[in-house]
Amino acid sequence: MHAVSVRLDDRPDNPLPTHSPSIRLYDFFEVHQRRQAPLVLATVVETQGSTYSKAGALMLIDENGIFQGMLSGGCLEGDLAIRAQVVLESGQSQLVTYDLAADNDELWGLGVGCDGLMRVLLQPLVSTRAYEPFATMLAAFDGEEAAVVSTIVESNLSSAPLAATFVLMSGESRAFGAVEDIAAEVATSAAKFLEGGEQASQSLSRDGGEAQVMHSLIRPAAKLLLLGGGLDAEPLLRYASDMGWKCTVVDHRPGYLEKGDFAVADNVVCCAADELASNVELSGYAAAVVMSHHLVSDGDYLAQLAATEIAYIGLLGPAGRRERLLSDLGAVGSKLEGRLYGPAGLDIGGRGPSAIALSIVAQLQELFARD
């Protein structure tokens, strides 16, 4: 295992490390997994100062230097792609520190002109090891409960080498590349981190040696319900999928669903609006957007959503239409108070389906980030 460091200063408190792969990262991984082609997982393990990404950000790089995901907005990706080839050839993980606050642009030949420090861990993912630990990380992201990924980011312990990884999921911990006693200690700390009572970093000591562990949270992908399969649902679905959210599209009109471009949706359901709750398990959704543009259908959707705990219920159309729907709902409409966003989306200006979709996704991201 190799560590490359330019300069590492004292570590300040960083935002909570969180892994959040997008649909594009999923697709990139699945294509290479089917071909049994090797990949390199690049993970930001620490940042200081002004950086494009924070701890937990992910990128995949293939054997040809092609990558998916961005860690620096394009500043460091070329260098990371070169390093990834070394990792694949050697089969050894590598830790690299980019200190862009120092006057060393000529040393690196990058000329980025940024003012921060970023440490990135590069791990080989190969078919002979079932693409672990990334395959298990994706399984955790697809789950229903939060999980923790714990990674050795510094070590002089043979029992806990650099890049050894542990995944705590559904109360069970899986270890990749470390001995059992280390795994048990990390799992205990990871469980405390998951409960909010432990720091994102952990020190391990054995026989005069020491290792540093970074805990990162994996939150289940947010689930979004799109109630309406018109043309304006397509850009909303694309943007939401790019954010890594799981989307279900529902409409009572088969022609809309057959003609629409909903390939990236996790589920597409055709049913009468007043039968939504009978066809879709509404619990677990973080948000719903009512967008059938059919007054009666939208009212039926809202009536059923009022009985749920969905925290965000977006409604397309002007304020007058919202008030008419609420009036028709009567007492049921009062259960939507504090959750109904109509017109849905932030006021960012612009017109048309793409601009509206962008405003809704921005509003959702703002709300999700508060959790």
Q: State the CATH number of the domain containing residue 259.
A: 3.40.50.720
Residues 182, 115 share a domain:
no
34 dihedral zone (left: phi>0; alpha: psi -120 to 50; beta) = alpha
Domain count across the chain: 3
Note down the domain range covering 185.
134-220
Domain boundary among 96, 131, 166: 131
pLDDT at res. 149 = 92
Domain boundary among 220, 249, 275: 220
Which of the four pLDDT bands, split at 50, 70 and 90, describes residue 7?
Answer: very low
Residues 324, 233 share a domain:
yes
Residues 251, 171 share a domain:
no
Residues 200, 81 share a domain:
no
Q: Which residue type occupies 114?
A: C
Residues 364, 308 share a domain:
yes
Residues 127, 6 share a domain:
yes
**pLDDT of 6 over the 60 cut:** no
- Alpha-carbon Rg for the chain in angstroms: 23
**pLDDT of 263 over the 90 cut:** yes
pLDDT at res. 109 = 44
Residues 24, 125 share a domain:
yes
pLDDT at res. 181 = 76
**pLDDT of 8 over the 50 cut:** no
135 and 126 Cβ atoms separated by less than 8 Å: no
Residues 348, 247 share a domain:
yes
Q: Report the chain's mean pLDDT, rounded to a whole number.
A: 86
In whole angstroms, give the CA distance from residue 142 to residue 44. 21
Model pTM score? 0.77
pLDDT at res. 84 = 95
pLDDT at res. 135 = 94
- Determine which helix (DSSP H) or strand (DSSP E) holds 18, and give its type and residue range: strand 18-19
The average pLDDT across 107-127 equals 74
**pLDDT of 349 over the 60 cut:** yes
Residues 143, 127 share a domain:
no
C-alpha distances (whole Å) from 299 to each of 6, 291, 341, 347 are 60, 11, 14, 24
The answer, yes or no, to whether the previous bond of 353 is cis (omega within 30 of 0) is no
Residues 306, 204 share a domain:
no
Domain boundary among 82, 105, 131: 131
**pLDDT of 102 over the 70 cut:** no
In whole angstroms, give the CA distance from residue 151 to residue 135. 15
Residues of the chain above pLDDT 90, percent: 58
Min mean pLDDT across 13-17, 158-162, 197-201, 239-243 is at: 13-17
Residues 233, 330 share a domain:
yes
Residues 160, 102 share a domain:
no
What is the token pair recorded at 333?
């409409």
